[in-house]
Amino acid sequence: MSAKQNSRKSKWALDFNVSKNADIPSPAGYNPTALVNQTEIVRDQRLVIKKSWDLALGPLKQIPMNLFIMYMSGNSISIFPIMMVGMMLIRPIKAMFTTQVTSKMAEGAQGTGQRIVYILGNLANVGLALYKCHSMGLLPTHASDWLAFVEPQTRLEYYGGGISFI
Amino acid sequence: MADAHFLAGALTSAMLVLLSTTVVVNGLYEDQIKKFDWRSMHVGAAKHIHVDLNHFQPRLLLGTHEQVVASICPKTGEIGWRQVLEQKARGDIKLLQVSGFADDSSDTAAAPVGTHLGFDMLTVQGHAPALVRGWNTNTGTIEWEWSVMPLNTERAQDAHWFYSNSLLYHVVPTWRSHLEVTAYFGTSGHTTGSTSKIMAAWIKPESCLLSGTFFVCVDGKQLISLDLVAKSTQVIATTLDTEPTSKVQALAGLNGVLVVNRKLVSVNKAQTVCDTLQSSSYAVGTFNYRKIVAYGDLAEGVLKIKAAYLDNCAPVPELDQSLTFNADYGTPSLRSFDCKLKRNGDGKSCLFVFSTSAESIVAVQQNRVRWVREEALANVVDSQFIDLPLADSEGTLENEMKGKSVDATGFETDIASAFLRRITTQAIQIKSLFLHVIGLGPPPTDTQRAGLVRDSFGLHKMLVLLTRSGKIFGIDNIIGKHHWQLYLPNVVGFGNDENMRLIVQRTSKHFPLQPLCTIVAKDLSTGNGVLYRFNPITGRAAEGGLLQLDYQIKQLSLLPEAEPDFVKGILLLDATNKVHVHPKHATQLADGMYLYTADVKTSELAGYFVKYAGEKLSTTPIWTVHLCGHNNEQKIVAVAGKSSIEHVHSQGRVLGDRSVLYKYINPNLVAVITQAPDALHKSILNLYLIDVVSGSIVFTMTHRKVRPPVHIVHSENWLAYSYYNDKVRRTEITTIELYEGKTQANSSVWSSLKAPMMPLVERQSYIIPTVVEALRETITERGITNKHVLIGTANGAIIEMPWALLDPRRPIASTTQGREEGAIPYIPELPLPTENFINYNQTIARLRNIYTAPSGLESTCLVVATGLDLFVTRVAPSKTFDLLKEDFDYILISIVLVALTSGSLIVRHLASRKLLKQAWK
């Protein structure tokens, strides 16, 4: 208690006996932790960059997982594989449109790079989904898919006749 | 290895299960019976008629040219029973003898019921063997039968049979030499002794006939006759007043009496006749227990029937009848009559039965036609489905649309007037509706009164049937009512067994112009061509009706629609290879047409090109193909082109790897099948696919040990034909599909002259465990619906066979590729499940042909099967995908809809109230 009082006293009492060599107490209102804070801010920024790289690389990291899901779901056309392919296709596209928001905090030197990586990762996912669609036969990539639109040939010659009546 | 076999077996069986579930099954439900179809039964043109009103069960017994024996109810004309007998010469009815027939010369052989000694009715059919059958006329069953196999079958063709005194006589003439007469006991078939040979050098094939027991030959002005049952074979010569101008006929019922030059002549001394009577047809019967002869004649549309007592030739005034006789019945001839046995009868019970030149059977009683049987329908040779006309209101709308399409160029300037017209038409419609409601509207037209108005799905059509006798019928395809009938006397089918043609020159689509049909036939007397134009909805002649041409028709073709009246011209090729067009204003459209003829006598095909230059048409022969083989033995047995109204929707076939195999759709391709005897293989059948524009042979194939009957169906890029395999004695169907390959040479235009490469040909043969009588493909409006093949069988069934089963690409080994393509593994036997019989138990006797036509619905195809019977139905090869099911639950659906809508409204209201309450808290 006394020590506390002591310190409180020493806060406002000026001791002129102290030699000049001794450390001069900081001025009133001076917060020495401010210096420490500055270094921490630098460290945080690095962290944020790291974090946003994580975010940017997220889609790329999903690829092995997606590959596994694709492999597991097979090429048959039924409700679950269709739903999966749908999700695989829609999610990256959605994510791409929200890129502005996610990379707002990563504005800085590496912001554009991250954005490019993020979009590329999403595009890779879209590509994977499209490949899946293709292997499931959902893409009109074959001639047979356009067969219904093939117009019949116009005939140039007309004929008549048959077994002779005479 | 065994495991592999087991696996393959399991796979096949799995595929079989799959097949039985996936192939469209078209069975009807029980409550759909006779809902979409109807059948009318016929017996054919009458050959022997016998009316018996005094039997405990009044009856009219018939033997017909179609080789049918039937009993008809004399009151209504309906068939009591009918027995369809053997076809061709074997079933030819030579004699129909009814016991108790009032004929003095033959006693009745009526024996006590239940014994084997007598007969009710006896028929003799065929010549080698001749079949003698005893019938029970109440039930229509055969009671007994015996047969005679003549030693000389060729001579037996001209044999006559007659019945006299319980004995059945077989008379075999050897022309210009002698007669062989054998007597048999009618019911047992035992001969009474040896065959007697009567020398008669005066008998000639064209001038002799049998009248009762007398064998009579015409020799100039003389009738030379011989009584075959008399003890002494004495030749009697009767001199006539004049030489017979028409064919001499025997009068049934009187022994030794003939009709010569419309008069009665007796060669039998024991039989006197009234030689003053003059008529074209006579019949003998009894009235008031006295024998009479009745005769009927048609004069200016009035049929007059008179009768005279045979003993004193006094007229019988009670039987005098006179009635107007429709021209479309043809020329009548009195065949038989009978009256109820009564003393002092007034003749009102007498029924006179006529057969006519239009193959009708007409029964007359009390000065009116009691009933008519249209037996011409037993020989339909061509058929068309015609769209019915529009109702008035829709007609005006159609007119408006047409006006719009014409004014399409000046669209902007015309908007106001089009709008005005629209308003006026709608005002008129409302006015007519109002007038109709209060009963002041204009009287409906004839066709509207008859219910002949187009329905929304185009399923209700006028079925126009052309028959061999030249009679044309307009029949309602839904209810089977005969709306109109026409009779063209003096026309016959063409040479080489080619039938008359029924052609639609203008369809019903061009309102207010009426549809127009034309019959192309040959004149009976001159052999020149005949055209008859008529309106198929009303059955009245149009555009002048009958047109006699002054040349013989060799072939014909239909031209495209001509302005301004939308008539499709008919291009006729005459015997001298000149071409003519009817109507004349369509002549220019014939420019650039190709024609071909197939000569069945020489097995030669010839192609012609038609050119229009200097207001005239000319033909240039451009190619000939000889199919007669090196020793001229090949005979053309069948020629089949594609339907001209066919649309091919799908241009290719999707393979297992999802690539496309493009179809080879050559619209000018014609299949020709020739047959030739062969020393090694008995019989050879050759198939040629010929492009008749360029004359190039696209594909040929040979079948060994195979013979006709051949039936072909040719459509899109495929061909199916049935034949009899002599080696294994069964009917087989071979199918062929033609493909261009994985790319199309020219995807926009088809020209046979810039011939694309030879097509890829897929072929396969199948065994069909029945005898095929007719083949036809289904056809729909746009060709989107699958095509099925309708197979008419000899036992009167029509089987709907999906093309998937006839597909030549059915893989023999069960491969994944084939499975992915949707092809069923190859099994040689075609399954004939009873659900696929589109006529279920309504057997079509003597099925001869099947005709198909598209309806207004893409899914539905209209079918008419002809033969002795007529069967009309509709089929939906891919099921009725464009139509709600019949048992669609409208009530449930509407209840659910109303409940959901009202429920959501209520819930919304409740929710808003709750929100309000929460806001106040």
Sheet (strand B178-185) strand order: B160-164, B167-174, B178-185, B196-199
Residue A141 tokens read as 């990539």
**Inter-chain touch A159–B648, beta carbons under 8 Å:** no
| Chain A touched by B816 (CB under 8 Å) | no
What's the pLDDT at B412?
52
CA distance B743 to chain A (A): 10
A159 domain-assigned: no
What gap in Å lies between CA B854 and CA B874, rounded to an integer?
Answer: 10
What's the pLDDT at A32?
66
pLDDT higher than threshold 70 for residue A21: no
**Inter-chain touch B652–A147, beta carbons under 8 Å:** yes
A86 domain-assigned: yes
Helix (H, G, I), strand (E, B) or coil at B151: coil
- Interval B167-188 mean pLDDT: 89
Least confident of B4-13, B154-163, B269-278, B602-611: B4-13
> Looking at the predicted complex, does its ipTM rise above 0.90?
no
**Inter-chain touch B494–A165, beta carbons under 8 Å:** yes
Res. A72 pLDDT band, cuts 50 70 90 = confident
Give residues 547 to 566 of B whose Cβ lies within 8 Å of A.
552-558, 560
**Inter-chain touch B594–A137, beta carbons under 8 Å:** no
**Inter-chain touch B496–A165, beta carbons under 8 Å:** yes
Max avg pLDDT among B100-104, B278-282, B342-346, B375-379? B375-379
Contact B503, B570 (CB under 8 A): yes
Helix (H, G, I), strand (E, B) or coil at B908: helix
What's the pLDDT at A118?
84
- Check residues B764 and B233 and name the one with the higher pLDDT: B764
- Helix, strand, coil abundance in chain A, percent, nearest 5: 65, 5, 30
A147 domain-assigned: no
Q: Is B826 exposed, middle or buried (0-12, 13-18, 19+ CB in 10 A)?
A: middle
Give residues 356 to 415 of B whose Cβ lies within 8 Å of A.
none
Q: Is B881 exposed, middle or buried (0-12, 13-18, 19+ CB in 10 A)?
A: exposed
What gap in Å lies between CA B779 and CA B862, rounded to an integer?
Answer: 8
Res. A104 pLDDT band, cuts 50 70 90 = low
Res. A117 pLDDT band, cuts 50 70 90 = confident
- Interval A135-149 mean pLDDT: 84
What's the pLDDT at B569?
92
**Inter-chain touch A142–B600, beta carbons under 8 Å:** no
- Interval B8-29 mean pLDDT: 51
Out of A137, A143, A151, closest to residue B660 by CB: A143
pLDDT higher than threshold 60 for residue B824: yes
Residue B674 tokens read as 């020739």
Out of B496, B558, B647, closest to residue A160 by CB: B558
CA distance B468 to chain A (A): 16
What's the pLDDT at B109?
44
What's the pLDDT at B446?
65
pLDDT higher than threshold 50 for residue A58: yes
- Interval B496-523 mean pLDDT: 90
What gap in Å lies between CA B399 and CA B397, rounded to an integer?
Answer: 5
What's the pLDDT at B312?
87
Look-up of token digits 């002599």 = B726
**Inter-chain touch B498–A158, beta carbons under 8 Å:** no
- Interval B406-410 mean pLDDT: 45
Out of A144, A151, A157, closest to residue B753 by CB: A157
pLDDT higher than threshold 50 for residue A71: yes
| Chain A touched by B692 (CB under 8 Å) | yes
Inter-chain contacts counted by CB atoms under 8 A, chains A and B: 126
Residue A143 tokens read as 């001639």
pLDDT higher than threshold 70 for residue B563: yes
| Chain B touched by A152 (CB under 8 Å) | yes
What's the pLDDT at B557?
92
What's the pLDDT at B416?
82
CA distance A151 to chain B (A): 7
Could you tell me what percent of chain B has a pLDDT over 90?
50
- Interval B892-907 mean pLDDT: 96
- Interval B756-780 mean pLDDT: 92
A108 domain-assigned: yes
- Interval B510-532 mean pLDDT: 90
Cβ partners under 8 Å of residue B23, min gap 6: B802, B804, B805, B824
- Interval B737-766 mean pLDDT: 88
Q: Which residue of A134, A144, A164 is the best one to mutate when testing the B interface, meaning the one whose CB has the most B CBs within 10 A?
A: A164
pLDDT higher than threshold 60 for residue A1: no
Measured between beta carbons, the chain B residues lying within 8 angstroms of A162 are 498, 555, 596-598, 639, 641
- Interval B355-366 mean pLDDT: 93
Chain mean position to CA B2: 55
Sheet (strand B360-365) strand order: B332-338, B351-356, B360-365, B368-374
pLDDT higher than threshold 70 for residue B7: no
Rounded to 5 degrees, φ, ψ at A121 are -60, -45
| Chain B touched by A164 (CB under 8 Å) | yes
Max avg pLDDT among A87-101, B28-42, B115-129? B28-42
What's the pLDDT at B64?
94
* Closest-CA residue to B647 (of A6, A50, A15, A151): A151
* pLDDT, chain B, mean: 86
DSSP character at residue B110: -
* Closest-CA residue to B28 (of B574, B782, B841): B841
| Chain A touched by B746 (CB under 8 Å) | yes
| Chain A touched by B659 (CB under 8 Å) | yes
Phi-psi region at A95: left, alpha or beta (left = phi > 0; alpha = psi -120 to 50): alpha
pLDDT higher than threshold 90 for residue A148: no
**At residue B145, what is the residue type?**
E
Measured between beta carbons, the chain A residues lying within 8 angstroms of B571 are 160
Measured between beta carbons, the chain A residues lying within 8 angstroms of B561 are none
**At residue B123, what is the residue type?**
T
| Chain B touched by A140 (CB under 8 Å) | no
Q: How far is CA B579 from CA A123, B5, B33, B545, B553, in A?
A: 70, 65, 49, 21, 10
Q: Which residue of A139, A142, A165 is the best one to mutate when testing the B interface, meaning the one whose CB has the most B CBs within 10 A?
A: A165
Least confident of A83-97, B169-183, B454-468: A83-97
- Interval B751-762 mean pLDDT: 86
CA distance B651 to chain A (A): 7
A37 domain-assigned: no
Max avg pLDDT among B67-71, B453-457, B679-683? B67-71
Give the range of the structural domain holding residue A121, as residue numbers without chain letter.
64-139
Model confidence pLDDT, tens digit, residues B533-546: 999 998 999 888 89
* Closest-CA residue to B496 (of B380, B629, B601): B601
Sign, CA dihedral B904-B910-B915-B916, equals positive
pLDDT higher than threshold 60 for residue B215: yes
| Chain A touched by B109 (CB under 8 Å) | no
Q: Which residue of B576, B627, B693 is the best one to mutate when testing the A interface, meaning the one whose CB has the most A CBs within 10 A?
A: B693
**Inter-chain touch A153–B575, beta carbons under 8 Å:** no
Give residues 434 to 473 of B whose Cβ lies within 8 Å of A.
none
A89 domain-assigned: yes
A16 domain-assigned: no
What gap in Å lies between CA B27 and CA B835, rounded to an integer?
Answer: 4
Max avg pLDDT among A14-23, A40-49, B404-413, B790-799? B790-799
Res. B222 pLDDT band, cuts 50 70 90 = confident
Could you tell me what percent of chain B has a pLDDT over 70?
91
What's the pLDDT at B397?
61
User: Searching chain A, which residue's CA lies closest to the CA of residue B691?
Assistant: A159
- Interval B660-681 mean pLDDT: 92
| Chain B touched by A155 (CB under 8 Å) | yes
Measured between beta carbons, the chain B residues lying within 8 angstroms of A145 are 658
Domain count, chain A: 1
pLDDT higher than threshold 70 for residue B43: yes
What's the pLDDT at B106?
40
Model confidence pLDDT, tens digit, residues B87-130: 888 889 999 988 754 444 344 444 444 444 567 889 999 988 89
Q: How would DSSP label each residue in A58-103?
A: HHHHHHHHHHHHHHHH-S--SHHHHHHHHHHHHHHHHHHHTHHHHT
Residue B777 tokens read as 């493909």
Q: Which residue of A133, A151, A157 is the best one to mutate when testing the B interface, meaning the one whose CB has the most B CBs within 10 A?
A: A157
Contact B771, B695 (CB under 8 A): no
A104 domain-assigned: yes
What's the pLDDT at B123?
92
How many helices (H) and strands (E) chain B has is answered by 8, 60
What gap in Å lies between CA B60 and CA B73, rounded to an integer?
Answer: 6
pLDDT higher than threshold 70 for residue B444: no
